[in-house]
Structure 1
Amino acid sequence: MKAYKYLTCLALAVTSLSACTDLDENLYSEIGSNNYFNTRDDVIAMAFRSFEHGYWTIVPRFRINELPADQLIIPRRDGSWDDGGVWRQFHYHTWTPDISRHVHDEWDSQFAGIAQANFAIDRFNELDPKKFDFQEDEWNALKMQNRVLRCWYYLRLLDAFRNVPFCISYDDPSQNTLSQVPPEKIFNFIEKELTDAIPLLYKKNSLGSGSQYANMWTQAGAAALLVRLYLNAKEYIGVDRLADCEKVAQDIVDGVYGEYKVADRWDAPFDSDNDSCDELIFFFSGSCNYTSWHYNQLYNWGVPSYSELFFDDAKVKHGGHNGEFVCSPSYDPTGNLYDFKLGMTIQKFRKYPGDVRLKKYKNLGGGKREGMFLFGYLEYMQNGIPRKLKAPEMPYELCIRDAVGQFHYKKEGQWLTSPESNMTTGDYNSGWYTVKYPMYSNNDPGAGESDFAEIRLPEIIYALAECKLRRGDDKEAGKLLNSVRRRYYPSDKHKEVLYQPEGNITLDLDEMLDEWGREFLAEGRRRIDLIRFDKFNKGTWWDKQPDADDHTKIYPVPRVQITTNAALKQNPGYK
């Protein structure tokens, strides 16, 4: 194969990325593939190189999808977490083409991943499987991995930017474009690639066998990407594809693409042994002290600084904690409940009594925990003395509440006299913290061992329910949601917390959006759900008024890309 100095896809990823991706190239006039691949393991390693990069890219995706939405915020606290106002730009939808590296990283990292996938795809087109002792089904499933992963990257570019270049070859730049193509071209490409790949991928034929499919696209995983594509097609290309979404989602639920099952415990898909959880359709394998991007650069930062004292999970295993994002408040600083229809993150959980997720997080030992939130005082023992966690910059004891204000030394139950509350008036007591993945003690063998759940069966069930609801079948939609929701509530509460016809709750589109938020809080998807329900630009939530227009439904092409590639045009609405 020829090595080109200016590979088109890499030209689109010119800014520096995380250390996990090295874009430096060694230039050779002629490099033969046979020099690279001498064993079966060489081929397998090549096939999965881009998966590690893909795992890292969940970090910028999380921030660009959660922070401009209604559930999570990063307010300024005691002089920190201002960062030049970037988090306010996300919150207020006032970003420009110069906005933070997180938008840049989403663009750059997706094209870097596509380039890596293209390299593998081109190699599979020239390698002989017999030389490496691959059976036909093994070879087909292996060579399809990067074609599906490339679709995952392109789907994210379509979601964030809509108008992007098209790159499908590492070896042949003539197949690629430096300029943007219409969103329909990307959409149709993703659809065909996934449809072609599904029959050639492995199928998970029995429950309890999920661990063998770590970092691997199966038939159900590829079909799940079709569900994501079709569910949002109206936004992506202006065409309603909900009927197709419903068909594929129903097939996944019915086991056409493999055997999956909703877990009995709410935390099972996030626990240290979640690779064996039948709810997971696709997951990136993480391991403590090796690769664990969702801990080290994401969820570790969603709990207060010095939380290692509370969790007993000192830096040797989990890394540090930094108190970055918290839940959008339900109360003003005087203790009065807001009346926003959106946001009100914790209040939406409180709406239905008995939700086990609302318990304060606690390590129970032996790979067990309870609760999904941190609030109130965070107490721990040190040298036999009971202590309470303190703020990192001022010596007040944390008393975390569902409000944003400068509470500082206020005790539990004490409130402020002024209702003023915005992105600049917070402290470290402002907003409940989310603990989706367990922060087990160092003494627990499961500490930091959870894999990252990229696609869970409930996502498919909720997409199917939304499709049915939008065509008027609220009862079947309710049953589908109940099949997941019942695990969160005591059985004696089911009548008052489940949707009709199995419970008393009426399901409508507003409730459907709320339920998407409860089930997938802090999983990096909230922005597109608000957009699909026409709330992202028109909605009102804490410290957020409706936008003047809807151009922020998609992000701008980062300015650095515009200045280095004259073929690119800026997205509408951005100067």
Structure 2
Amino acid sequence: MNKLYKYAALLAVPAALMTASSCTDLSETLYDQVASNNYYNTKNDVIRAVLRPFEHGFWSIQNRHVLNEESADQLITPTRGDWWDDGGRWARLHRHKWLVTNGEAQSEFNGCYQGIGQANKVIEDLDKLSASKFGFSEDEFKNLRAQNHVLRAWFYIRLLDAFRNIYLSQSFYDQSKNSKEQVPPKEIFDFIEKDLKEALPELAKKTSLGGNGKLEGQWTQAGAAALLVRLYMNAKVYIGEDHFADAEQYAQDIVDGKYGTYAVADRWDAAFDWDNENCDEVIFAFPSSGETHWHYKGDMYWWSVPSKANDWLHDTKSREGSHNIKYSASPSYNPKGEKYNYELGMPIAQFKKYPSDVRLKMYKNLGNGRREGMFIYGKIQYTDDNGNTQYLKDHHDQYTLDLRDAVGKFGGTDGSKWLDKAASRLEDGDDNSGWMFAKYPLYSDYEENQQFEADYCEVRLPEIIYSLAECKLRKGDTSGAAKLLNSVRKRNYPSSDWSTVLYAPEGAATLDMKEMLAEWGREFFAEGRRRIDLIRFGKFGNAWWDKDADADNHTEIFPFHTEILNTHTGMKQNPGYN
């Protein structure tokens, strides 16, 4: 077992470094119980310290997922009878009606700066330590330090993305090096760029196919280069500068193998499956285990299936308890069964544009650690403990579920029957509203050692290929862009359909900027990035189901909660928020 975090979990870790409270207690002073000069005594001490910010980073993906998906056009959380109103929180996010007092983005702000503080401490501690004293070579020590530089840059990209106007923290020990007020976004952009470029040559490089092996869970050269691609792809949004040429160069270098050896998997779900440490399209992932699996929590993929799905999936032994019916795909139809005509949203209709897409199959565990399909819809049949055929019911056991691609109070109506009214809002939902999904597998308890084994895939090769394709499309090379996209897309369709579903010139499908955005949505459905893609394409303020067009673009960045402004007294509220 090469999983970095699993190895670290076996070590005796002091409470001040690894307690869960360090992720949730925002008033905590990091490492306040262990002095650095007393803590670093063995090689394992160094490894533990280096890993601590990574575990925090893994935990923090939950905050980003909520903000980037609930505020975008593809995922919704409708009210389901007496569940999921939550004071209108999900409706506010969906309709871009968040306020300073809501504090919707507070956890993202605090979580990222906590991670930055932890990374700062590791970087400065390693600067003062001797590699040979702890049995490291100089190159190994540089690699450990460089990984925390990259992790810090990853946090800063998220802050730049969510808030734009932030303060710069680059030292744990010398507060004079940290700004007391916001600095221009360009200064943060330059800081990230410099951090990544300087760290990149000191990182390890994956040299062969067959998975990440001992590099699993570590930032590599390709991982750092991928973050530069992300930074450059959105530079026009962040700082008003066009860096698509830079994004294209780094993306091309990654695809060409300059920063390591990677390959697109032959099936769409390989990067999300329980053994995805062996998947060559995974560039960086947070290793998961029975102890640490933050993407299998409620604010992410544990609550993207029906509330009683345990009866169907037989995963009741999980420490996460029952599932919950939180996330659904935004609807393609109104309650009368009439199709909407929105440009955005309607993700199921976007998938069905190419109806032979294997991801459209009903999710099913096939046994032996494999699954098929991504979506959950219609009636859900299962066999109970007595061998009888049953169907999943709603959370109050009042009616048999029959999930459809619409939002309404359908109750016990058959899926082929619709309601008399066309009006539909988030407040009108029930347990039947919207297709659900399983991006990561939800294997049975009986499939030993596979529950929660799927690493959380943060960067995978298709993101780089799609970025490269978008860059080519923006400069008019439609054919080059199409071929790149097809190199990924062809795995989603039977080869007999390639002549119709692949983009021209390899097929008959048409590629333009509208289709490029739609394809980003299909390939990266529910992966926590939809918001920034919409912003980059100038579509975030548009109308979609149950959302009017925004009056202006101030909602492209989030406000700072009052507690944040009170804590950082030199900061000013973002424009557009009172």
Shared topology, TM-score over 0.5? Answer: yes
Secondary structure at 2:457 match in 1: strand
* Match of residue 69 from structure 2: 66
Following the alignment from structure 1 to structure 2, what is the Cα–Cα distance between the partners of residues 185 and 351? Answer: 43
What amino acid is the match of 1:150? R
1:124/1:64 CA distance change after superposition, 3 Å:
same
Identity in percent: 53
* Match of residue 11 from structure 1: none
Following the alignment from structure 1 to structure 2, what is the Cα–Cα distance between the partners of residues 412 and 33? Answer: 62
* Match of residue 254 from structure 1: 256
Number of residue pairs the alignment of both structures matches: 555
* Match of residue 10 from structure 2: none
Following the alignment from structure 1 to structure 2, what is the Cα–Cα distance between the partners of residues 260 and 281? Answer: 8
Is the contact between residue 20 and residue 56 of structure 1 (CA under 8 Å) also seen in structure 2?
no
Is the contact between residue 23 and residue 56 of structure 2 (CA under 8 Å) also seen in structure 1?
no
What amino acid is the match of 1:241? H
* Match of residue 10 from structure 1: none
Pairwise CA RMSD: 1.5
Following the alignment from structure 2 to structure 1, what is the Cα–Cα distance between the partners of residues 486 and 471? Answer: 15
Secondary structure at 2:458 match in 1: strand
TM-score (normalised: structure 2)? 0.94
What amino acid is the match of 2:89? V
1:32/1:112 CA distance change after superposition, 3 Å:
closer
Is the contact between residue 289 and residue 453 of structure 2 (CA under 8 Å) also seen in structure 1?
yes
Asked whether 1:482 is paired with 2:486, we answer: yes
Secondary structure at 2:155 match in 1: helix
Asked whether 1:429 is paired with 2:421, we answer: no
1:24: Cα distance to partner?
4.7
* Match of residue 119 from structure 1: 121
Is the contact between residue 317 and residue 448 of structure 1 (CA under 8 Å) also seen in structure 2?
no
Is the contact between residue 17 and residue 109 of structure 1 (CA under 8 Å) also seen in structure 2?
no
Following the alignment from structure 2 to structure 1, what is the Cα–Cα distance between the partners of residues 22 and 546? Answer: 32
CA deviation vs aligned residue, 1:253-296 (integer Å, no higher than 9, x gap): 000000000000111000000011001000000012x0000002
* Match of residue 332 from structure 1: 334
Is the contact between residue 334 and residue 340 of structure 2 (CA under 8 Å) also seen in structure 1?
yes
For residue 534 of structure 1, the aligned residue among 538, 543, 546 is: 538
What amino acid is the match of 1:354? S
1:560/1:517 CA distance change after superposition, 3 Å:
same
Following the alignment from structure 1 to structure 2, what is the Cα–Cα distance between the partners of residues 484 and 166? Answer: 38
For residue 413 of structure 1, the aligned residue among 403, 411, 416 is: 416
1:71: Cα distance to partner?
0.3
* Match of residue 9 from structure 1: none
Is the contact between residue 353 and residue 493 of structure 1 (CA under 8 Å) also seen in structure 2?
no
CA deviation vs aligned residue, 1:531-575 (integer Å, no higher than 9, x gap): 0110001x2211111100110000011221112322110000000
Asked whether 1:94 is paired with 2:102, we answer: no
1:138/1:20 CA distance change after superposition, 3 Å:
farther
| Structure 1: gaps of 5 or more residues | 1-15
What amino acid is the match of 1:285? P
Is the contact between residue 271 and residue 457 of structure 2 (CA under 8 Å) also seen in structure 1?
yes
Following the alignment from structure 2 to structure 1, what is the Cα–Cα distance between the partners of residues 293 and 30? Answer: 26
Is the contact between residue 262 and residue 484 of structure 1 (CA under 8 Å) also seen in structure 2?
yes
Following the alignment from structure 1 to structure 2, what is the Cα–Cα distance between the partners of residues 436 and 20? Answer: 30
Asked whether 1:569 is paired with 2:564, we answer: no
Is the contact between residue 562 and residue 568 of structure 1 (CA under 8 Å) also seen in structure 2?
yes
What amino acid is the match of 1:393? H
1:395: Cα distance to partner?
1.0
More displaced, 244-253 or 389-398?
389-398
Is the contact between residue 502 and residue 508 of structure 2 (CA under 8 Å) also seen in structure 1?
yes
For residue 523 of structure 2, the aligned residue among 505, 519, 522 is: 519
CA deviation vs aligned residue, 1:449-494 (integer Å, no higher than 9, x gap): 1000000100000000000000000000000000000000000000
* Match of residue 153 from structure 1: 155
Asked whether 1:504 is paired with 2:508, we answer: yes
Asked whether 1:355 is paired with 2:360, we answer: no
What amino acid is the match of 2:263? K
Secondary structure at 2:190 match in 1: helix
Secondary structure at 1:428 match in 2: coil
What amino acid is the match of 1:403? A
Following the alignment from structure 1 to structure 2, what is the Cα–Cα distance between the partners of residues 27 and 363? Answer: 46
Following the alignment from structure 2 to structure 1, what is the Cα–Cα distance between the partners of residues 556 and 518? Answer: 20
1:32: Cα distance to partner?
5.6
CA deviation vs aligned residue, 1:489-510 (integer Å, no higher than 9, x gap): 0000001000011001111000
Following the alignment from structure 1 to structure 2, what is the Cα–Cα distance between the partners of residues 273 and 125? Answer: 36
Is the contact between residue 328 and residue 344 of structure 1 (CA under 8 Å) also seen in structure 2?
yes
1:209/1:68 CA distance change after superposition, 3 Å:
closer
CA deviation vs aligned residue, 1:423-453 (integer Å, no higher than 9, x gap): 1100010000011000000011222210000
TM-score (normalised: structure 1)? 0.94
1:398: Cα distance to partner?
0.6
What amino acid is the match of 1:535? K
More displaced, 407-416 or 509-518?
407-416
Following the alignment from structure 1 to structure 2, what is the Cα–Cα distance between the partners of residues 319 and 435? Answer: 17
1:496/1:395 CA distance change after superposition, 3 Å:
same
